[in-house]
Chains A and B, each alone.
Chain A
C-alpha cells in the first residue's frame, strides 16, 4: 500500500486532471441513474394524473429527463477525454521519473537485469502502472462516492431501503470481487506459470527447429506444445468459470436490489408513507445504481498487478549507484596516463575476486592488449577505467590522482568504447553514428565507416546512411552491427579507444583488415588503445600484452 501512495505522490502535478476526470465520471453516472429514476416516476405520475383527470406540472420532470440525457452523453465524452489526457500526462511523468532514476544505475546495477525478459517485464510493469488511474482510481473513487449518494438519497424514503441498497452494493462491489480474486488466485498464478513455461518451450523449439527436424523430434515437441496449450486452457477455464459466476452474481445483485425495493416499498405505498410513482422510481433507481460497481471486479484484479508492478519498479529505482561522484571533481588531464596499483575487484563482498593484485602502467598513446578467457575480468577492467565501477582494493590512478577524484561523465568524454555487446538504436544509421559526434560532417561519417569496412554496405542500402536499423528498418547481422559500432567509436574525438572483442562475428579476412585500419586510425590520432580479446593473434602491433586468467 505504501508503494501505491508513493505512486500517487509521483502523479501529484496531475492531481487536478485526475480529480476533474473523476468528477466527470461521477456526474455521468448520477445522470444515468437520475434519468432512469425520473423517467419511472414521470410516467407513473403522468398515468395517475391522466386516470384521475388531474393536472400536473410536467415541465420540470420532462426537462429533468432531457437534462439528464444530455449530461450523461456530454459527460461521458468529457470524462473519456479528461481521463485519457490525465493518463498520458502521468505516463510521461512516470517514464521520465523512471529513466532519471535508473540512468545513474547503468551499467553496473542494471547488468543483473540484462536479459531481455527482465527488460520487457520492466516495460510491462511501467505499462501496468500507467493504467492505475484509469483502471483502479477512477472506478473505486466513483463507486465509493456514488454509493454514499445513493444511500443518503434512500434514507429520505426509508432507512430499510438504504440498508438494502448499501448491503447489496457492498456484496456486488466488494465481496464478490474479493471472493473471486481469492478463489481465482491459485488458478491465476498457475496459468501465468504455464504461459511462461509454454513460452520457454516455444523459445527453444523455434530456435532449435532445425535440430528437432533433423533428429526427428519435431512431432513429439509439437505434441508437447499442444499439451501445454491444453493445460493452459484448462487453467484459464477455471478462471473463466469464476468470472462467469461473478458476472451472474453481479447482475443478480442488481436485480435483487430492485426486487427487495419492491418488497419493502409496496407496503410503504399501501400505508401512504411513499407516493405510488415513487415505487416505479425506486425500482428503476435500484437497478440503474449498480452501474457504479460494474468496473470494480476489474479494478480489484488490477490492484494486485499494480501493487506487484509498483514493488518491482520501486525496488529497482531505489538501488544505490555503484559509483559515487566526487563533490569537487578535478579537471581531466590532457594525457590519460592510467596506473593500476595492486587493483582487485569482486562483485560481491564474499564472492570470488574477478581481478586480483593487478599492477600496470597504461600511459597515453600506448597500445595495451588484454588476453584471457571468458570470466577472467577483462571487461571488469574496462568498467573500472570508465568509472562505471570502483576497485574493491588497490588503487587506480589517473594522472597520479585516484580516479575517484574525477567525474565519471567528464572522464568518459575522452574515452571511446566498442563494448562486446553493442547496441544500435532503432533509428537511422546516421543518427546512430552521430551519437558519437553531434556535428560530424558527412565526410567524417564516411571516413570512419570506410575504416570500419562498413561504408560499402551502407551505400548499398536503399536509404544509404538514412537507412533505419532495428525493428522498423533493416536488420543488421552481428558482424555488420559490430562494424557500425566500431565506426561510431572511431568517430568520437577520444584520447583512449577501448575495443572489447572487436572482431567477434567477423570473418577472418575482414577481421584482419579492420584491425589494420583501426591501428592506423589510432596512430594517426595519437590515441591510446586498449584491446580486449580471447584470441592471441594480431598482437604484434601492441606495446604491452597482459594475460589475465
Chain B
C-alpha cells in the first residue's frame, strides 16, 4: 500500500497575518516594554564598547597600569550586571506579553465554540479544535515572545549603533549602510521563493508523521491482510523520499541564511581590514577604530537573530489559520433572525422573557407547553438539504418517537428544536411564541437533553449529576440518582457520590454513564426532554434499567426521542416517520403498521431484534 501525500495548495492568507498582528493588542504594554528593555540593553552595549575601547586604548597606547584603568573596569562590571538584569527583565516582559495573548485567544476561541454550539461541533471538528485550543494556542507564545520583539529590535538597535559609528568613522558606517539593507533584501529574494515550498515541507513533515501513526494504528488491519511486513519498506521508502525532497528544498532555503551570514561576516571582515589600514596609515585613532570594530558584530546580530525566529512565525501562522477559521465562522443568527411571519415584528431581542406559558422563571414553572413546527426547511452549508417543509406538532406531556433511516433528518430536527441550528424558512412556535424570540439560554432552561453518548466531565459523580443545577443538595442529587436507577451502583463506587470520574467516564460501563445522564435530567426537572436513544452495546440488565428510567422520566414531561429500538417505539404515544427531510407518517404503532409502508419496512428490519 502506498500512502502518498495528497498535494494541497497552500498560501499564508493575508487575513491570518492581519489577525496575528491584531492580537498584539491583548499583550497590553508588555510587548512595548520588552522592546524598550531590549533597546536599552542595546544602548548600554554601545556604552560598554566605548568603555572597553578606552581601557584597551589606555593600556596599549598610554602605558596605563591596571590601577589606572580600574575605574573604567568597575564601570564595565556594573554594565555587565545591569545588562544581565535587563536580559532577565526583557524575557519576563516578552513572556507576559505572550501569556496575555494566549489567555485572551484561548478564552475567545472557547467562547466562540460555545456560541457555535454542538450542531457545528461535529466529531472530527472537536479533535481539530482540541489541538487548536491546547497546542495551537501554546504555539503562539514563541511568536509574541520572540519573533515580534526581535522584529522591532532589528529595526531599532542597528539604527542606534549606526548613529554612533557614523559619528566616529564614516567609512565603516558606509559599509554598514550598504550591506545592511542587502541582508533583508537577499533574504526576501531567496525567502519568497522558498517560503511557500518551505511551508509545504512543514506540512509534508506533519503528514509523514501522520502516515507513520496511521500505519501503526492500522497495524492489525495490515496484519489481517498479510501486508504488514512489506509496509516496513513503504515506511523506509516514504522517509527516504521525504529526505530527498526536503533536502532539495533546504539546499535553497539555507541559502537565505547563507546570504545573511555571508554579508554579515564579510562586512565585519571588511570593516576590520579598512580600519586596520587607516590605523596603519595614521588616518585614524585607535580608540575610535577599536570602538567601531566592537560595534560591528552587534550591528549585524539582531539581523541574524531574525533568521532563527523564522520557525516561530511559521508555527504561529499554522496555528492561527485554524483559529481565524473558527473565529470567523458566522454564528447562528439568533435571536435577531429576521421574522418570518408578520406577528412577531414587534418582538425586540430585549423582550426575551417570555409571555406565558414560559414567562415563569424556568424551573419553578409547572406549566407544560406545546411546540408547533411549521414548514421548516434546513440546508447545510455543504448544500445537503436535511429538512424540507417539515411540519409537526408536539403535544404537551406526550412521548413522541422519531424514526427514520440515517440521513432522514432526525438529528437536524432535534438540533433545530434545541436552537443549535436555525431553519432557513418556516418557524418553530413554543406555545404561541416563536423560538427566534427567545434567548437560547432562556429556552434551554426548559430543556433536558440525553445524547446518544452522554458526556461525563472531570469531577465527581455528584458534580456530574448537578450539571444543570450546581446548587442542588446531596439529598436532591441522591433522589435524582434513585429515580434514574443509578443510586444502586453509585453507592458501590469507592467514594460513592464523591468518586472522581476519569476522562470520558473510564471505569463506568455505557449503561452506567447513561443512568448518570438520566439522573442529570431528573435533577434539572425540565418540562421538555430530548433524547437520542443509545445504540451502543449495552448489556441487557443495564439496557432494561435505562429503559425504565426513561419511561419514568417521561411521566409528567414532554419527551421527544430519536428511537432506535422496537420496544421504545411501541410504547411511545405517537411515532413520527421521517423520510428525506419530511414527515412521511404520524400515528401510534398500531396505526402506522396499518397505514405506513415505510414503517412496515422498518418494523421488518427492527423485527428480528425483539
Contact = CB atoms under 8 A, between A and B. Distances in A.
Interface stretch (A134-142, A250-258, A346-354): A250-258
B261 A215 contact: no
B430 interface: no
Interface stretch (B192-200, B218-226, B553-561): B218-226
A363 to B, nearest CB: 22
B447 A214 contact: yes
A273 B355 CA distance: 100
Contact of B87 (A209, A248, A470): A248
A534 B449 contact: no
A39 B226 contact: no
Interface string A219-242: 011100110011001001100110
Interface string B551-569: 0000000000000100000
Interface string B60-73: 11011110010001
B460 to A, nearest CB: 14
Nearest to A200: B503
Given A51-B61, A126-B212, A247-B91, A99 B232 contact: yes
Given A107-B220, A225-B110, A226-B103, A203 B504 contact: yes
B455 A204 contact: yes
Given A56-B280, A426-B214, A209 B444 contact: no
Contact of B103 (A208, A221, A233): A233
Contacts of B406: 477, 479, 507, 510
Interface string B435-447: 0000011001101
Interface stretch (B251-259, B345-353, B371-379, B583-591): B251-259
B311 to A, nearest CB: 13
Contacts of B229: 103, 409
Residue among B69, B85, B261, B524 having the largest count of chain A Cβ atoms under 10 Å: B261
Contact of B449 (A210, A243, A249, A426): A210
B482 interface: no
Contact of A43 (B64, B92, B289, B448): B289
B574 to A, nearest CB: 20
Contacts of B220: 106-107, 110, 419, 423
A421 B351 CA distance: 51
A382 to B, nearest CB: 10
Given A43-B276, A47-B280, A89-B243, A35 B268 contact: yes
Interface stretch (A177-185, A276-284, A304-312, A443-451): A276-284
Interface string A478-521: 01000000001000100000000100110111111000000000
Nearest to B275: A43
Interface stretch (A71-79, A162-170, A333-341, A395-403): A71-79
Nearest to B281: A50
A222 B537 contact: no
B130 interface: yes
Contacts of A218: 114
A442 B40 CA distance: 71
Residue among A50, A96, A245, A534 having the largest count of chain B Cβ atoms under 10 Å: A50
B467 A217 contact: yes
B95 A240 contact: yes
Interface string A424-466: 1111000100111000000000000000000000000000000
A104 to B, nearest CB: 9
A76 B261 contact: yes
A419 B224 contact: yes
B6 A468 contact: yes
Interface string B384-404: 000000000000000000000
A48 interface: yes
Interface string A195-212: 101111111111111111
Contact of A214 (B113, B242, B444, B537): B444
A35 B271 CA distance: 12
A342 interface: no
A492 B225 contact: yes
A99 B222 CA distance: 12
A199 B131 CA distance: 9
Contacts of B103: 226, 229-230, 233
Interface string B212-249: 11111111111111111101100110011011001100
Contacts of B124: 475
Contacts of A388: 223
B444 A213 contact: yes
> Contact residue range for chain B?
35 or more
B575 to A, nearest CB: 15
Contact of B59 (A58, A200, A279): A279
Nearest to B540: A373
A258 B232 CA distance: 54
Contacts of B236: 92, 95-96
A89 to B, nearest CB: 7
A147 B155 CA distance: 34
Given A263-B66, A276-B59, A280-B60, A127 B224 contact: no
Contacts of B504: 203-204, 207
Interface string A12-45: 0000000000000000000010011001101110
Interface stretch (B176-184, B312-320, B599-607): B599-607
B276 A99 contact: no
Contact of A110 (B219, B540, B607): B219
Nearest to A491: B225
B269 interface: yes
Contact of B130 (A203, A269, A435): A203
B221 A423 contact: yes
Given A46-B280, A216-B441, A423 B218 contact: yes
Contact of A69 (B251, B266, B418): B266
Interface string B451-487: 1001111100000000110100000000000000000
Contacts of A507: 405-406, 605
A102 B227 CA distance: 14
A244 B91 contact: yes
A240 B228 CA distance: 45
Given A84-B247, A95-B212, A507-B406, A214 B418 contact: yes
A220 B470 contact: yes
Contact of B223 (A106, A126, A284, A509): A106
Contacts of B235: 92, 95-96, 99
Nearest to A62: B273
Interface in B78-101: 80-81, 83-92, 95, 99
A44 B262 contact: no
A91 B239 contact: yes
A416 B602 CA distance: 30
Nearest to B65: A270
A35 B517 CA distance: 72
Nearest to B70: A263
B107 interface: yes
A241 B236 CA distance: 43
B534 interface: no
Contact of A77 (B52, B217, B258, B457): B258
Contacts of B221: 419, 422-423, 425, 435
Contacts of A263: 66, 73
Interface stretch (A116-124, A150-158, A324-332): A116-124
Contacts of B23: none
B87 A247 contact: yes
A73 B113 CA distance: 49
Residue among B56, B99, B114 having the largest count of chain A Cβ atoms under 10 Å: B56
Given A92-B236, A207-B455, A280-B60, A103 B6 contact: no
Given A126-B212, A252-B84, A266 B219 contact: no
A266 B269 contact: no
The 4 closest A-B pairs by CB, nearest first: A537-B608, A208-B455, A210-B118, A244-B91
Given A120-B213, A431-B2, 7 more contacts: A44-B56, A99-B215, A236-B95, A251-B87, A470-B214, A536-B609, A537-B610
5 contacts: A95-B236, A103-B228, A122-B213, A203-B130, A205-B110
